[in-house]
Amino acid sequence: MLAVLSPGQGSQKPGFLTPWLDLPGAEARLRWFSALAGVDLVRLGTEGDADEIRDTARTQPLLVAAALLAAEHLPMYDVTVTAGHSVGELAAAALAGVLTQESAVTLAGVRGREMAAACALEPTSMSAVLGGDQADVLAAIEAHGLHPANFNGAGQIVVAGAVDQLAKFAAEPPAGSRVITLQVAGAFHTPYMAPAEQALATVAAGITPTDPARILLSNADGAAVNHGREMVQRLVHQVTAPVRWDLCVRTLADLGVTAVIELPPAGTLAGLVKRELKGSGAVPEIVTLNTPDDLAAARDLIARHGAPSGHEPTMQFRVVVAGTAGTFNPADELAEGDTVRSGQVIGHIATRQGAVDVTAHAAGVLTEWLANHDDPVAPGQPLARIGGQLS
């Protein structure tokens, strides 16, 4: 099983889009994305210096556009899982089919501008905490009136809040930890971003999402999200909520992901996955896709680890996944080859709190059961594959 990951803010590097513009149609695509985002992505990705592309209003649409541009050159129909870190979730949602590319880039532009505006309201920032006992670190964060913004795994938590409180926190670090000040302009993923969340919600309300065509993991809790509208709500709320990348990585391991491609600018998420899963025996094979020269390796990885499509280009397949842990029981009256309607109950998950319905989120043909009677399942685990004609 293969996952494609989209990086978030902080992964950008000056000139990282330059080699991509040599591909046919790439510059035109970026100019279209620029019109949607309201910033010149071609210039920023090729000529912008480190300070310029650190600007939140510019960085966020730049990262989403870069991920989508690179993914256009991959056989995404054989990719089973997508996930993104922070603003990278917008790209992941587009790659999963929840958003159009245009919607993702437009939302990234709004999100970046509004978060930059929220940053300007009062002096806030972020620091990385490396090491230490997690309970002790969280207690110290709370004691200083700060917020945990990112749980990145591998012993790394990013703390955010008022600049003066961060300085006091760094002067009295939790036992066994090291605090590194980050060069960012605000307290992302905390209540300080409430104005940005409200503004993004207003725009997102006008989008008509679709349900994901592949497994899409959420930063909120690492769970797979089955419904497009729910994912949009999560994307909006994530502006003020912590990024639980540690839980996303755990879900990748629970799903049995054997290979990962990180989209450009790649490296950060690949490193976190390696460090979090080191020693578990579940470290996937990884390709960091930074230039077109890496496309051959990425395509080879998909060919070896992706889900073979085995279908004509006129077909699409949607994977129904478990929304909770428990024991799965398919509906007795359903068999592979049967037609199902959107919203039809195709099985149940037995939990301590009772049975939870499993529904088909698209009409089509039940092509394959991916779990059997009385199988124990985890959140995000594939249960069935449904195929249907593309409209």
What are the catalytic residues? 86, 189
Give the list of residues 6+ apart from residue 180 with CB closer than 8 angstroms, or none. Answer: 127, 128, 130
In whole angstroms, give the CA distance from residue 189 to residue 187: 7
Residue 7: CA count within 13 A, CB half-sphere: 26
Give the list of residues 6+ apart from residue 317 with CB closer than 8 angstroms, or none. Answer: 213, 309, 311, 367, 385, 386, 387
DSSP string computed for 263-277: PSS-SHHHHHHHHHH
126 phi/psi in degrees, rounded to 5 = -145, 155
In whole angstroms, give the CA distance from residue 385 to residue 334: 13
300 phi/psi in degrees, rounded to 5 = -65, -40
In whole angstroms, give the CA distance from residue 119 to residue 292: 35
Residue 275: CA count within 13 A, CB half-sphere: 15
> CB of 105 within 8 A of CB of 37?
yes
In whole angstroms, give the CA distance from residue 307 to residue 301: 11
> CB of 197 within 8 A of CB of 239?
yes
Tokens at 224, concatenated: 């797979």
Give the list of residues 6+ apart from residue 33 with CB closer than 8 angstroms, or none. Answer: 41, 61, 65, 68, 69, 101, 105
Nearest in space to 226 (alpha carbons), one of 361, 126, 110: 361
C-alpha torsion sign, points 137, 152, 215, 372 = negative
